[in-house]
Structure 1
């Protein structure tokens, strides 16, 4: 059996842990630069406010009338709370897999059954996480990862389950899948859902009853595996669940407009470091680099956006090589008089490092030992302990976070103070 532990409204729930004054109020968390809504607690959802990805300025008055508490994204706090959540869940099973910042899979094997039964076991996980971390979670249990995900959906959104759902019989499986749209299934997106709807497949139960031969003929192998998983046959491994990314992007809008070329260069080099670090973490190499910069389409000035793509002679993951090329491209992108609002880089045409074939005529210029040393130091002491000088020492273009809460768990100066 598999269990999926999922934090309810992760970002908003983290904001409430150390601030008792907002626990019974609607809490809204904003994206970078306080631009759009990215999370809302269950109270806000019940009130009908806090729809995801709506620009904050458009609903600011509505949120004020509802008495909503606004918070900027506090990634430092969320990452630490996520680790505490994972550390609390993993002892409950022989094997675990971190799927995302707010989701953790537990695997028990084929024959294992808790002495107290699966329902009580799931309730115990919820109680323990609440006691130790003060985060509300839902627990879904099923014989395959896809059914565990479906059970988690039921635990959070379907009536009668109240945070815990276990698919341990054909009757429960049909009951839950019949109430799920086909696009609610793990791995079934909007476009794929439309194609399935055209075949008369509207619910998860419809898909589970569809012959695998038809699915194999009309769709890819992953969709066929999903159908088999819905019928209780394990087909997905963790590698299938989280396939390697085919490209890495790092982009961000500025807290205030940037007109200075050197400041824009520092921002681009910062994005190079972020994207290259992710590339090395995946143990991949990149063949192409994309760099872009633009002002805002909402500005009164004429909209300006330019991007350039460079092809490296050989595949690379070296931050210094990528930064040098990015700096050269920026010379052709920058234009004086433009109030730049956003910039970013993309690493494209990726190749697994172990599958890369070296070129006999073009030597590999990557400084692998240096990159490994930098990554190890930053991993141990802090992400920006060592960085490229090209990104600058003091950056003046930091993103706007006017509603930022303290980093209660990671900074000594911001530890909670209890007055008796």
Structure 2
């Protein structure tokens, strides 16, 4: 059997943990630079003011009328709460796989809890609430896809109240008949439309489709989904995620950039972030893509400039990539353009362990320096040590006007209780 533990409205729920005053109020969390809604608690959703990815300025008045509490994304808090949730959930299964910041799969590999699957799932949910104060849904099924479906039922189908277990044919039929095709793991809106062309309108109908026919019409992945809905395990995950084929670091600015040196600092900061991710998966980059753009809504017209650079020797050194960014700025920057967004992409990646060096070209990466920098930043926080050309007072930092305290990761923000 498999289980999926998934937090309810993760970001909004995290905001309520340390602030009792907002626990009974609608809470909405915004994306980077307070641009759009990215999460909303169940109260906000019930009031109709928590639709995802709607620009904040468009619904600002509606949120005020509803008495909604607005929060900027507090990634430091969410990451720490997520780790606490994962640590708690992992105690209940022999094998676990963290799927995202708010989801973790369990693989029981033939083991069965003596108290039964329903009581076991309830125990996980109760432990996370008691120890982390995070509401979660727990779904259990004979395959990862059915566990995902059960998790959906635990939160969206009446009667399950946070826990659902698919361990018999009757329950499997009831849940799959009360779900939309797009609620199934891996079935998007376009794929659902194509399935409807074959008179498949529900997950229950998809579960009874001919897997061979589905493979011919779609792909092996959709065929595997059909088998999984039938109770045959086809989807697996590795203990370690496969290395990414490309790595990007990009973000819009808290305020517009009009100066060349500030644009250079922003690009070098992104170079450092991307290079650190590259080293974590032990890869080398053969090509760097550096770009900057203004907003397509600007009166002076849309401007976007991108520079592609191929390294003579693949690299993972921040200083090497930073030097390329410094050169690229000379071609990217245009006077009078209010730059709104920039980024650095590292593509055409290769495994460092398998890379064969060129006898005639010297490998310039300072691996010891990069390892030292990563170790310091891992212990004391990102950007504790960075290249000087990144700057120190960044005017382009992300805007977070509604940011809550970092209750668990910053000493000055630890809650104080007066008795």
Please say if residues 71 and 404 of structure 2, whose CA atoms lie closer than 8 Å, have aligned partners that are also in contact: yes
1:202, 1:266 → 2: CA distance?
A: 52
Partner of residue 60, structure 1: 60
Partner of residue 33, structure 1: 33
**TM-score of the two chains, using structure 2 as the length reference:** 0.95
Question: Larger deviation: 385-394 or 159-168?
Answer: 385-394
Shift of 1:196: 2.3
Partner of residue 75, structure 1: 75
2:240, 2:200 → 1: CA distance?
A: 23
Please say if residues 40 and 50 of structure 2, whose CA atoms lie closer than 8 Å, have aligned partners that are also in contact: yes
Shift of 1:123: 0.8
Q: Secondary structure at the match of 1:348?
A: strand
Q: Secondary structure at the match of 2:91?
A: helix
Q: Secondary structure at the match of 2:266?
A: helix
Shift of 1:358: 4.2
> Which deviations, in whole Å up to 9, do the C-alpha atoms of 1:382-417 show, x marking residues without a partner?
122221222112212111111110111111211112
Q: Secondary structure at the match of 1:239?
A: coil
Question: Larger deviation: 389-398 or 23-32?
Answer: 389-398
Shift of 1:356: 4.0
Partner of residue 177, structure 2: 178
Partner of residue 412, structure 1: 411
Shift of 1:360: 4.9
Partner of residue 13, structure 1: 13
Q: How does 1:83-162 map to 2 (within 5 A)?
A: 83-110=83-110, 112-162=111-161
Question: Larger deviation: 285-294 or 37-46?
Answer: 285-294
**TM-score of the two chains, using structure 1 as the length reference:** 0.95
Partner of residue 275, structure 1: 274
Shift of 1:170: 1.8
> Which deviations, in whole Å up to 9, do the C-alpha atoms of 1:245-288 show, x marking residues without a partner?
33222111111111111111111011111122222223333222
> May I ask how many residue pairs the two structures share in their alignment?
419
1:353, 1:237 → 2: CA distance?
A: 26
> Which deviations, in whole Å up to 9, do the C-alpha atoms of 1:181-221 show, x marking residues without a partner?
22222122233333323222222222221222112223332
Please say if residues 97 and 239 of structure 2, whose CA atoms lie closer than 8 Å, have aligned partners that are also in contact: no
Shift of 1:4: 0.8
Q: Secondary structure at the match of 2:238?
A: helix
Show structure 2 runs of 5+ residues with no match: none
Partner of residue 212, structure 2: 213
When the two chains are superposed, the root-mean-square deviation of aligned CA atoms in Å is: 1.9
Partner of residue 393, structure 1: 392
Q: How does 1:219-368 map to 2 (within 5 A)?
A: 219-239=218-238, 243-368=242-367
Show structure 1 runs of 5+ residues with no match: none
Please say if residues 295 and 302 of structure 2, whose CA atoms lie closer than 8 Å, have aligned partners that are also in contact: yes
Question: Larger deviation: 197-206 or 119-128?
Answer: 197-206
